[in-house]
Amino acid sequence: MKYVIWGAGQRGGRLFRQLQPADVMAFVDKSEEKAGASFYGKKVISLEEYAEQYRDSILVITHTFEETAVRELETMGIQSYMRLSDCPGELQEQDTRPFLKNYVKGLVNMHEVYGIWGCTVYGLEVYSWLSEIGNDHSYLIIEKNVSPELLRIITENGYRFVLEDEVSPGHMDRILICRYREESARSPVFCGIAQTDLFDCSDVIEEYYNPEIEKLKHIHDGETCFIVATGPSLKIEDLNILEQKQIPTFSVNEVGYAYDSTPWRPTYYVGLDRGLLEGEFLQRVKPEEQCKVAFLGDTSPLYWEEKRGANVLKLHFCSEWPVDRYPKFSEDLARKAYGGGTIVYVCMQLAVYMGFKQIYLLGVDFTGANEHGSKYEHFFHEKELRSVSYTDLVRAGYIKARQYAETHGIKICNATRGGMLEVFERADFDSLF
């Protein structure tokens, strides 16, 4: 299949690395600085140029303003698009890894007939993986909402397919689910045929499993903890109180900037971003020396090339980027943690997994709440703002965490001094002590 990637940036580059370079014809970007330039050796074109010259290639939206992009495409009469957010986390990661592909290839039987449900980039990739092992008699299952223009491109590229309404028992041996479905829509069978979920299957990929994390499940049953973020409201005096009271804490990212001013150190440190693992921030935090346990993401192969201390645990980070739904909340952190636009969401999953029943948030200012894509500051007041707020995604993650907590006997309160996070019940930090 031939693609044009909309977004000559970080997420567009991630998708490019997951595909065959020859399958990507160009990048689309609306930035005047990038127009006519080259990105990963491919020409950067305008949306108008795509409409005029590349309509036989599928346009894949990879930037974070998907809904705006879809409205613009519909206004232009372009229906031949897909969205990166419809793909599983493995296709949105910073580096390519063979684990998912190898799992899928090892799962299927060359002689059986499969229906691949999910007219997405991932669905097309799974189709090609089956072809690589000699299974060239399976089908794409085309959903009801697939546009005629997209169906034309699929047809012209020789893909075998069947319309969703035409699938019946006996048509194929098994259906491979390659697109997100609501939990209420899941069952052992789909269209009367046995199914296997390939969209959210990292919990059965052994390379992601960490038995050392599993040992920490429920070790804090019924206890209280603080998740200390690095917003501008964070006070050193508050960290000193947490130190005096010996309350278990999680903290993240650049919290090491506070170390020179307080004896407090986080009980548990969480770091996910590849740039952090390979940059100066982790050197400042010194997780092997300054915390009980550090949960660091498997996002940097370079970092994990060296042997790490026994208290540094590799955490599989599922890089999903849901746009029109709430992110998932992991119940098995030994297998994976789901992203929710903020590392605080991962801390919440870890805290619940470890058994904490009362979780307080501190320094979670959510100062980007009114503007998607705005930059925000931290407590150490850096000279140049780098961090970007993905407001809708972050808010959705907080709502999901609140919903999960409410249905599992867990209380999450926001003890941040001020800020704009109102998803959780407020708590006055001073009155707690």
CA distance 1 to 14: 18
Contact 127, 138 (CB under 8 A): yes
Alpha helices in 262-330 (DSSP H): 274-278, 280-285, 287-290
**DSSP labels, 317-385:** EE----SSSPPP--S-TTT-EE--SSHHHHHHHHHHHTT-SEEEEES---TTTTSTT-B---TT--SS-
CA distance 7 to 60: 9
CA distance 360 to 250: 10
Q: Would you state the pLDDT for residue 170?
A: 86
Mean pLDDT of 288-307: 92
Query: Residue 372 pLDDT > 60, yes or no?
Result: no
- Please choose, from the candidates 358, 380, 359, 376, the residue with its C-alpha nearest in 3D space to the C-alpha of residue 367: 376
Lowest-confidence pick of 16-25, 120-129, 329-338, 385-394: 385-394
DSSP 78: -
| CA separation, residue 269 to residues 149, 256, 258, 298, 404 (Å) | 48, 10, 14, 15, 23
CA distance 69 to 61: 8
pLDDT digit string, tens, across residues 154-211: 999 999 999 999 998 888 999 999 999 876 455 667 778 999 999 999 999 999 999 9
Upper half-sphere CA count for residue 153 (Cβ side, 13 Å): 23
Angle at 38 between CA 37 and CA 41, to 5 degrees: 170
Q: Provide the phi-psi class of 369: left if phi over 0, else alpha when psi is between -120 and 50, else beta.
A: alpha
300 Cβ contact list (under 8 Å, min separation 6): 94, 95, 274, 277, 278
Lowest-confidence pick of 278-292, 375-389, 406-420: 375-389
Model-level pTM? 0.92
pLDDT digit string, tens, across residues 61-81: 998 888 899 999 999 999 999
Q: Provide the phi-psi class of 53: left if phi over 0, else alpha when psi is between -120 and 50, else beta.
A: alpha
133 Cβ contact list (under 8 Å, min separation 6): 105, 108, 110
| CA separation, residue 173 to residues 162, 313, 375, 424 (Å) | 14, 40, 50, 47
Among all chains, which residue has been given the structure tokens 């000279």?
Answer: 383
Residue type at position 400 = K
Residue type at position 367 = T
**DSSP labels, 160-196:** -EEEGGG--TTS-SEEEE-S---GGG--SEETTEEEE
Bridge partners, residue 225, by sequence:
359
pLDDT digit string, tens, across residues 391-426: 888 999 999 999 999 999 999 999 999 999 999 999
